[in-house]
């Protein structure tokens, strides 16, 4: 079995009912797609990878998420359909009940707060 390189680094930025995921791809030139899963694989999105250099970064905003902690799973795929071992990260989605508020108590969107926990 052939395993393409897994995502090197995952950063999760918390936002208002959304997250921003940034992933650093390894130098494996055969990676053509990244699969991102969340909520125990009940939802997902596929991202085509277009290389510009030896090591690239992909970014993705996932919107319309419920408040609270979410676990994200990233898997790379090569042109032959081989998949990498998964990499996991946990991020928090803020909303009306959990968002950082200003002194007046007003929510100040849009905002991105870098919070990331790797598993």
**Residues above pLDDT 70, as percent of the chain:** 80
pLDDT digits (tens, 9 = 90+) for 31-51: 899 999 998 999 999 999 887
- What is the dihedral sign for C-alpha 79, 81, 87, 91? positive
DSSP, collapsed to helix, strand or coil, labels residue 89 as strand
With cut-offs at 50, 70 and 90, classify the pLDDT of residue 55: low
pTM reported for the whole predicted model: 0.79
Contact predicate 25/7, CB 8 Å:
yes
Greater pLDDT, 111 or 16 = 16
Reply yes or no on whether the pLDDT at 16 is more than 60: yes
> Domain coordinates of the chain in residue numbers?
9-118
Greater pLDDT, 72 or 23 = 72
CA separation for the pair 79, 29 (Å, rounded): 10
Structure token digits, residue 57: 């970064």
Structure token digits, residue 17: 């009912």
**CATH code of the region 9-118:** 2.60.40.10
Burial of 66 (0-12, 13-18, 19+ CB in 10 A): exposed
The mean of the pLDDT values for the chain is 81
């Amino acid at each position: 079995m052939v395993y393409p390189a897994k995502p090197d680094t995952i950063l999760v930025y918390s936002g208002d009912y959304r997250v921003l995921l940034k992933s650093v791809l390894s130098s494996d030139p055969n990676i053509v797609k990244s699969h991102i899963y969340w909520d125990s694989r009940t939802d997902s999105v596929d991202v085509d990878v277009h290389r510009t250099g030896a090591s690239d970064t992909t970014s993705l905003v996932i919107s319309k998420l419920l408040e609270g902690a979410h676990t994200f799973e990233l898997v790379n795929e090569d042109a032959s359909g081989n998949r990498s071992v998964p990499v996991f990260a946990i991020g928090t989605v803020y909303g009306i009940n959990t968002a950082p508020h200003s002194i007046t108590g007003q929510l100040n969107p849009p905002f991105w707060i870098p919070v990331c926990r790797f598993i």
